[in-house]
Structure 1
Amino acid sequence: MSTMTSDTMTSNRMTSDMIKFLTMVGKLKRTKRSGWVMRGVNDPESVSDHMYRMSIMAMLCNNSSTMDKTRCIKLCLIHDMAECIVGDITPYDNVSKEEKHAREKKAMQELSSLLPDEAATEIMELFEEYESQSTEEARYVKDLDRFEMILQARHYEEGEGMCLQEFYDSVDGKIKNQEIISLATTLVESRRK
């Protein structure tokens, strides 16, 4: 009769936890962005779609020598991860910013508990950095988040013949990075043509 060693049991638990983590995060591929759903957009993007394009933007757009591009990409991948548990909470859900943060933090702690210590610590640090907007990278990623939303709004306007002005209005004056302001300005001007 074969007995499992402590190392084997630990390894099996870690493998099982990793699969659980990846399964939970995989729900983001099916979690539709609530703002688009509420506006009746046909086949709205998923949270995962949004995070993916933001990550590509961070890779291509960040030309600052002072920012850590890899950190920006990681922030893009983490910033909405809690939504695999709490869903995509919007201002229309009547949830305070404090309550939204508390729910998302609890979800991130649950997700992180499935990972090895080093990875769990990194994910929680990235989540808190983005939430607190405490670094240049976090503020840049917030600008990418806002720009990606209006870029997606433009896609839906063109494809479905709808006006989504409220999304543009919600970010007006909030984007601070000059590079992203330039992209947003060009995008908004393209709507006028």
Structure 2
Amino acid sequence: MQTDNLLRQVSFIKEIDKLKYIQRKTKLFNSDRNENDAEHSWHLAMMTIVLAEHSDKPIDVLKVLKMVLIHDIVEIDAGDIFLYDSVINHTNTDEELIAAKRIFGLLPSEQAEEFIAIWTEFEDGLTDEAKFAKSMDRFEPLLQNSSNNGGTWAEFNVPYEKVYEKKKAIKEGSTSIWNYAENLIDESVKKGILKKSTDQ
């Protein structure tokens, strides 16, 4: 049984290497190179460890780490949907659930069930851990775009109103990080790297 578990776990580990090939729209800090999903997940994990004290509620940091490390694995099958996509809804749960069942299903059943449950908890965004994980997921690209002269906001002509609407989810996990993020958004408008729809 232990050997069978190991074989299944190694199969999963090999499969998730594909995450390194999933390109995101956002670029690395002060760079013109696109970030991949594996880099994004690693960065969110580090942010979680470093910023956990700013959570509005006590959180199980290990659970948040699991969430941010596995939340995008489904994109191996489902692909990365741009947060500001005006055609495809970023909440692509049906297709992503099929992907979650296939990819996490490579693991021994108990682990597979745990990973699917954690992934679902993140997607639902109702627990304190999920709220903080989502705060990290929204905060990282905000920092990237503000370092890249507007980054994807400028590249895809995303207005301030849409950015603000998507980013205010940060507030659900951390008031202090949201205050910082809101100031960064306002500064980006002042610098002209993020434009209000009336200025387009």
State the TM bucket, normalised to the shorter chain. Answer: 0.7 to 0.9
Structure 1's 104 and 62: CA in aligned 2 closer, same or farther, altered over 3 A? same
Q: Shift of the alpha carbon at 1:145?
A: 0.8
Structure 1's 46 and 17: CA in aligned 2 closer, same or farther, altered over 3 A? same
Report the residue type matching 2:180 in the other structure: L
Aligned Cα RMSD in Å? 2.8
> Which TM-score applies when normalising by structure 1?
0.77
1:25 aligns with 2:48: no
Q: Percent identity?
A: 27
Structure 1's 144 and 73: CA in aligned 2 closer, same or farther, altered over 3 A? same
Q: Deviations over 1:25-77 (max 9, x none)?
A: 111112110x348xxx8320001111111111111111146211111111111
1:29–1:49 CA contact under 8 A, matched in 2: yes
2:100–2:116 CA contact under 8 A, matched in 1: yes
Structure 1's 188 and 93: CA in aligned 2 closer, same or farther, altered over 3 A? closer
Report the residue type matching 2:38 in the other structure: S
2:9–2:106 CA contact under 8 A, matched in 1: yes
> Which TM-score applies when normalising by structure 2?
0.75
Counterpart of 2:198 in structure 1 is none
Structure 1's 102 and 137: CA in aligned 2 closer, same or farther, altered over 3 A? same
Q: Which residue, 35, 38, 46 being the options, matches 1:45? A: 35
Q: Shift of the alpha carbon at 1:179?
A: 2.7
Larger RCO: 1 or 2 (CA < 8 Å, sep 6+): 2
1:146–1:171 CA contact under 8 A, matched in 2: no
Pairwise mapping of residues 14-163 of structure 1 onto structure 2 (< 5 A)? 14-33=5-24, 35-36=25-26, 42-63=32-53, 64=55, 66-90=58-82, 92=85, 94-96=87-89, 100-157=92-149, 163=154
Q: Partner of 1:66: helix, strand, or coil? A: coil
> How far, CA to CA, are the matches of 2:133 and 2:148 in structure 1?
22
* Structure 2: 5+ residue stretches without partners: 192-200
1:184 aligns with 2:181: yes
Q: Shift of the alpha carbon at 1:97?
A: 5.9
Aligned residues: 177
Report the residue type matching 1:139 in the other structure: K
| Structure ID, larger Rg | 1
* Structure 1: 5+ residue stretches without partners: 1-6
